[in-house]
Amino acid sequence: MTHVNGLIVVTPEAAVVQVANTFGLQPGLVAADSALHRRLVTKASLAVEVERAGQTAGISVSRIVLARCRMDAESPGESRLRLIVEDLGYAVELQYPILTRPGQLPFAFADLRLVGHRCLLEFDGAVKYEGVSGKAALMAEKVREDRIRRLGWGLERVVWDDLNNPRQLGLRIAAVAGLG
């Protein structure tokens, strides 16, 4: 603990470990991924904090979070989706670059790619489609998606409600990956 503006606070590393220990794998992973993505922590600094926490209640969850956290998850939805997909047995790449031709710069990045499959997963929150520019964002997303599909990629869009039914989501993913 430390003091900031007269308040007693914990470090970001301690906060991640406390969330994992108290609330479990999914919240802990979301906290760790977010802290890593925002460069508030490193895997090394998280490892030090997990070690420092010793044998506190729930520490085994923090060790799993440490092993599974990734800095390239850009949102809580992506972190939760990745956790489900990995638990279904798939290896994934995050922020996978989509190229028209080898050697070209990517025109898009997919949230997740299933390794060994021409299958991409996109997590969609509604925020980017709201407001004055929401319609334009939706149309741009449609053009992007059509271009990706023309390159032979299977693409499955996932929304918040889908994360509450991993079994059903797994069936959809298997179908897009050509396994179902």
Q: What is the pLDDT along the chain (180 residues), one digit of tens a residue?
A: 777 888 889 999 999 999 999 999 999 999 999 999 999 999 999 999 999 999 998 999 999 999 999 999 999 999 999 999 999 999 999 999 998 888 888 989 999 999 999 999 999 876 666 667 777 877 888 888 999 999 999 999 999 999 999 999 999 999 999 887
Helix intervals (H) in 38-99: 43-53, 59-68, 76-87
C-alpha triplet 117, 118, 121: angle, nearest 5°: 95
Helix (H) or strand (E) holding 174: helix 166-176
What pLDDT is attached to residue 87?
96
What pLDDT is attached to residue 128?
65
Q: Strand, helix or coil at 139?
A: helix
What pLDDT is attached to residue 139?
84
Instruction: Report pTM.
Output: 0.88
Contact predicate 35/26, CB 8 Å: no
First and final C-alpha spacing in the chain? 50
What pLDDT is attached to residue 84?
97
